[in-house]
Structure 1
C-alpha cells in the first residue's frame, strides 16, 4: 500500500487513566509515531474491551484514515462523534474521511462544525478556503437588510428518493439548489425541510442528515439501504419548524401530488407566512393531450387550489412565467408576482468514471437523446428519421442512443420501434442510468437531439452544451431560451425538415467539427450557485414588497382529501 501523508500532525498524545494502561500506552505510542497498522490493532482491542470510551474510537478512526480506508474511517469516526458531538477534532477527521470518499457536502458540514466548536482549529489551505466560501455568503447575496427567513420545501425530492435511485428532471433541479445552499448559503435565514404529518406543519431537516443524503445520491456507489436509513432518520428526527409573520415558505418541487398541500399552505398563510411555489411548467394545463387524462385532471384541480392561495411564484424560464401568468388570469382571474429564474447550465461536480463493462458495450459512433420516453418528447420523429436514413445509407449511420425511463402514452412508439427491430439495431434504449454513465454518454457522443413538442426548460439541451456537444432541438416553447445561438432548431411537427438538419450533422463532419468548436468556445456557464443566488435574492425582494391584505381564513377552495398525511410519503 502506498504511503499516505499523515493527516494527524503531531497531535497531543491521547491521555489515559484507567485499568487498560499497557494496551493504551502501546496504542498511544504507535499513534504518535505514525505507525498506523500497529496502532490500529491496539485500538481495535481497546474498542472491544471499552466500547464507550470516545478516545478509543477517535484513535481507531484516525488510524483507518491514515491507512487510506476512508469508508471504514467514516464508520468509526461517526461513532466517535456520536459519543462526543462537541469534539472539534473528531468532526475535523470525520470531514476528512468523507472528503476522501467524495462526500463533499458532509465533509463541509463537519469542518464548519469543527470551526464553530474550536475557531482556531488547524485546517489545511483547501479546507480553510471551502469553509470560508460557505460561511454566510447568503447575506452577501441578499444584502444586510434581509428580514425574512426562507423555508425551502423539499418534500418532493424526499418522496422521490423513497422510490428511486436515479434523479430525473425536476428532482435534479431541486438537488442542484440544495447543493448550492449547503455549500454557499448556510446562514440563519435559510432552512430546508418538508411538510409534516399534521396539516399546517413543516419540519427542518438537520444539516448533517441532508448533507449525507445528497452525498449518497451523488455517490457512484449509491446504496439503497443507506438511502433508506437516511430518509428514515430525516422523517423521524427532523424538528418541527417555527414560523413568524413575514417568513417565506417556498416549494421547490412539484406541488400537485400532495393532496393535503393546499390545506398546509393555507394554515401557514394564516400565520402570516408568505407562500410561494417554484413552477417548473404548466404543460398538463396548456397541453393536456400529452398526459393521461386522470393526471391532467388532478393537476388542474391542484393548480386551481394552490394558485388561489399563493402570494408569489418562481418559474424556470421566461416561457413558463408567461404561461403561468396567462393561466392564472384566465382561469382564476388572479395575478401574483412571478420571478423568472433560468436554470443552470453547468457540469456536475466530481462525477466518477463510467464502468468498463458499460463502455465496452457502446457503439463506436452514436447520437444521444436524453429524456423520459413519453409522447411529449416526440421520439416518433427520431424513429422515422433514423429509419429513413438507415434506408438511404444502407445502414451506414451512427446509432441513436435513447436514455430515459418509459413513460406514458408511448405504446404506439414502442410498438413501432419493436416492429422495426430497433431499426436493425441502430436505435439503443437505456433506462435510468447513473450520473457516471450519463456523463460518459454526453462526453463521447457526436451530438444530441431533443425534438420535444413543449418544455418548461429543457435540461438535456443545457447539459449537452455544457458538455461541449452541439444540440438539435425544437424551436418551440422554452428551448430557444436554453440553446440560444449555439443550438440548431427544428419544427417538431415537420419530420422531413428535421431529417435534413440531422442528416447534415451526421454526414458533414467538417461542419459538425466547426459547430462543436463554436459551442465549446462560446458556451457560458450558469452555475447552480448563480441560480440559487438569483432565486433567494428574488424571493427576498418579493417578500419585502408584499403586503398581505388580511390573513387567510384557512378555507381551501373545493374539497381536499387528506390522503398523504405521512411525511413525504
Structure 2
C-alpha cells in the first residue's frame, strides 16, 4: 500500500481516551487493528463537523498516544487533531477505510461524507443486540442501530463479523427486510491479547468470583447480587464477588443493591476499571469468571479467562459455544438454584470445578495473528 493510503477511523478511541475511560471489547478490536496496520495506515477522525485525515507525522503521534507509548497521551491526541484542522487535509479519494466500531454510523451525514470523498469502508460488525434485544439497550438504540446497518450496507466495500452468531443475526435481519447482501463478508473471530504475567500474590487470600464488563441490564448482574444476598443469609462461608467494570445505563436496581444493601457491603467489591496488569491478576486468581449475560456477539472476557487458565461459568449462548466450545460450565441465566449449586462446587474445589480444569488443558485461544491471517487476504481481495 503506497503512501499509507489505508485509513483507520479512531474517533471513538480518541474520545474515550480523553474521557479517561478504559478500553472496552470494541476498543480492544480497534487497538489490535492499529497495532497490525500502523505502518501502512493513517488516522481518520471526525471532529468539528469535518472528516479529517491526519498527516503521517500526526498519525504516528496519535498512534503512539493510543497505544500507550506517549508520556502525555492527552496532549498528543489534542495536538494531532488540532494540527490537522489547521492543515485541512482531506482524505485521499479511493482510500480503504477501516471503521471498527459502530460509532457515528447512525448519523446520515457520515454516509454523505464517504460518498463525496470516494472512500471504500470496511466495517466491523460486533453485534445486533440493540435490535434483537432492544429491552437491554438505551431507548431508541434499536432504530439507531438499524441506521448503522443501513450505512454499512449502502456504503461498505466489506463487512467483518466477529462470530458466526453475529453473522447469522445479520442474515436474519436481512431476511426480514427482504434484502440480499451486497458487499463482501468475512467471519473472523477475535484474538485474545496476551495479558501480562500475573503477580504471585493474590488480590484476596480467600477464593473469590469475578465478573468482567460494564454494569448494564444485559449483563445480568442483578441475578448475581440477589443470589449473593440469599447465599449470605444461609450462614455459609461465601466468597467475595468482584465486579470489574464501570457503571452503565438503566441499572438502577443493581446500583441500589450495591449502595444500599447492608448484607452486600464488603462482600461485593466494585472496581470501575484497571490496567492490563491488574486485570491479569484479578483473572488469574479468580475461582471462576461469571458471565450470566442474556445476549452477546462474542464475549471476549470468556476467551481471556480461559486463556489464563481460569474456569468460566456462563450463559449457554451460541457466541460462547463458538468461542469456547464445551469447556465452560453453561447455565440458564434465570436459574438461580443452578447457579448457586455451581458456585458452591467451585468454591469448594468440587468435582465440577476440577472437571472444567481438566477441560481447560484442551483450550487454545485464537490470537490476533490468526484473526489477521483471515483479514489480510480479505483486504487484498477488496483492493483488487
TM-score bin (small chain): 0.7 to 0.9
Paired residues of 1:442 and 1:469 also in contact (CA < 8 A): yes
SS at match of 2:194: coil
Q: Is the 8 Å Cα contact of residues 106 and 144 (structure 2) preserved in structure 1?
A: no
1:507-566: CA deviations, max 9, x gaps?
Answer: 3445424532431x222132223223322322322443xxxxxxxxxxxxxxxxxxxxxx
Alignment partners' CA distance in 2, 1:201 and 1:232: 13
| Separation in 2, partners of 1:474, 1:542 | 37
TM norm structure 2: 0.86
Give 5+ residue unaligned stretches, structure 1: 1-138, 140-145, 545-569
> Within 2, Cα distance between the matches of 1:427 and 1:368?
10
Matched, 1:343 2:182: no
Aligned to 1:443: 284
Contact preservation (8 Å) 2:42, 2:53: no
Q: Secondary structure at the match of 1:522?
A: coil
Q: Is 1:202 equivalent to 2:53 in the alignment?
A: yes
**How far did residue 476 of structure 1 move?**
1.9
Q: What residue in structure 1 maps to residue 213 of structure 2?
A: 371
Are residues 300 and 205 of structure 1, via their aligned partners in 2, closer, same or farther at CA, if it must alter by over 3 Å? farther
Q: Is the Cα contact below 8 Å between 2:214 and 2:248 reproduced in 1?
A: yes
* Equivalent pairs, count: 377
Aligned match of 1:254: 102
Give 1:551's aligned residue.
Answer: none
1:465-544 equivalences in 2 (<5 Å): 465-509=306-350, 511-519=352-360, 521-544=361-384
When residues 257 and 277 of structure 1 are mapped into structure 2, their CA distance, relative to the original with a 3 A threshold, is: closer
In 1, the alpha carbon distance for the partners of 2:55 and 2:116 equals: 17
Counterpart of 2:257? 416
Q: CA RMSD in A?
A: 3.0
| 1:389 equivalent among 215, 231, 234 | 231
What does residue 228 of structure 1 align with? 74
Partner of 1:412, secondary structure, is: helix
Task: Give, in whole Å, the separation in 1 of the partners of 2:197 and 2:100.
Answer: 24
Partner Cα separation in structure 1 for residue 82 and residue 50 of structure 2: 17
Map of 1:106-185 to 2, 5 A cutoff?
A: 150-182=6-38
- In structure 2, runs of 5+ residues without a counterpart are none
Distance apart, 1:401 and its partner CA: 0.6
What's the CA shift for 1:364?
2.4
Q: Distance in 1 between matches of 2:67 and 2:7?
A: 21
CA distance in 1, matches of 2:63, 2:52: 23
SS of alignment partner, residue 161 of structure 1: helix
Cα distance, 1:281–1:227 mapped onto 2, change above 3 Å: same
Query: Does residue 461 of structure 1 match 2:307?
Result: no
1:95 aligns with none
Q: How does 1:244-393 map to 2 (within 5 A)?
A: 244-245=93-94, 247-256=95-104, 259=107, 260-268=109-117, 271=118, 273-331=119-177, 333-336=179-182, 337-348=184-195, 350=196, 362=204, 364-392=206-234
SS at 2:54's partner residue? strand
**Cα distance in 2 between the residues matched to 1:230 and 1:466:** 34
Q: Is the 8 A contact 1:372 1:406 kept in 2?
A: yes
Shift of 1:257: 6.3
- The Cα of 1:176 is off from its aligned counterpart by 2.0
Give the structure 2 partner of residue 550 of structure 1: none
Higher strand share: 2
Asked if 2 retains the 8 angstrom alpha-carbon contact of 1:194 and 1:204, the reply is: no
Question: Match of 1:478, SS?
Answer: helix
Contact 2:45 2:51 in 1 (8 A): no
User: Cα distance, 1:306 vs. partner?
Assistant: 4.2
The Cα shift of 1:418 comes to 3.9
Counterpart Cα distance in 1 of 2:213 and 2:27: 13
CA distance in 1, matches of 2:51, 2:171: 27
